Chain A
């Protein structure tokens, strides 16, 4: 089945220790997104790639970076995780306009000790 896969599903890191989250897709979609979702809140868009073009949301902290080495994979790097970065991180994909639907991965729950 075509899908969006995230690894790991659960990640524990220490305060200030860099961490990388992974997303892959078999949908061959042009756009890949990273969202941060904290408990009981809506997903918050951090950034997205449209093909190789990277776009940061204005309020995304510099501590968060992303890489998309090819169509299928996208990584979220958190350079120095703080306690406030503990959250669910969701990857999503879409074909891009006019095909609006976004397909979400299962998420990675990040714990910062």
Chain B
């Protein structure tokens, strides 16, 4: 079945540095790739998403890139701040019906002041 691998599982950076989280998906039919941020005890919140007809998308300090050939997509956070500390989940979804999300295992990001 569909599988999404996410790396690294933990990431520690200094405030102001960049952070990159990478995901690989197995099903070439996947065409929607969201990234969720989950703070401790809170709901997952969508921070950015990308569709397979686009190679890159940016929203202020956050960007996502997609390489369909390699079946990779990555989250880039620039100028990290302590409030970026959270668990980040990537996911992949195929077209049709009920939009089942296949999640990666998550990356715990710690931004140190």
The interface size bin for chain A is 20 to 34
Residue from the list A31, A96, A101 in contact with B49, Cβ < 8 A: A101
In this complex, how many residues of chain B approach chain A with their Cβ under 8 Å: the count is: 24
Q: Is the interface of B mostly helix, strand, loop or mixed?
A: loop
A111 to B4, CA, bound (A): 29
A90 to B71, CA, bound (A): 28
Say yes or no for A70: interface residue by CB 8 A criterion.
no
Query: Which A residues are in CB contact (< 8 Å) with B34?
Result: 100-102
**CB closest chain-A residue, reference B96:** A97
Query: Which B residues are in CB contact (< 8 Å) with A102?
Result: 34, 46, 99, 101
Residue from the list A40, A45, A97, A105 in contact with B106, Cβ < 8 A: A40
Q: Taking A104-B45, A106-B42 as contacts, is the C-beta distance between A45 and B101 under 8 angstroms?
A: yes
List CB contacts (< 8 Å) of A99-113 with chain B.
Answer: 100-107, 109
Say yes or no for B16: interface residue by CB 8 A criterion.
no
A101 to B106, CA, bound (A): 18
Query: Which B residues are in CB contact (< 8 Å) with A96?
Result: 97-99
Residue from the list B45, B46, B98, B105 in contact with A41, Cβ < 8 A: B105
Q: Taking A42-B89, A90-B43, A106-B42 as contacts, is the C-beta distance between A97 and B99 under 8 angstroms?
A: yes
Q: Taking A42-B89, A90-B44, A100-B32 as contacts, is the C-beta distance between A50 and B98 under 8 angstroms?
A: yes
Chain B positions within 8 Å of A, measured between CB atoms, are 32, 34, 41-46, 49, 87, 89, 93, 95-101, 103-106, 108
| 13 A/B residue pairs, CB under 8 Å, sorted by A | A31-B98, A40-B87, A40-B108, A42-B103, A45-B100, A45-B101, A50-B97, A50-B98, A94-B98, A94-B99, A97-B99, A100-B32, A104-B43
Q: A101-B49, A102-B101 provided; 10 other pairs, C-beta below 8 A?
A: A41-B106, A42-B89, A45-B101, A48-B98, A94-B98, A97-B95, A97-B96, A97-B99, A98-B95, A101-B46
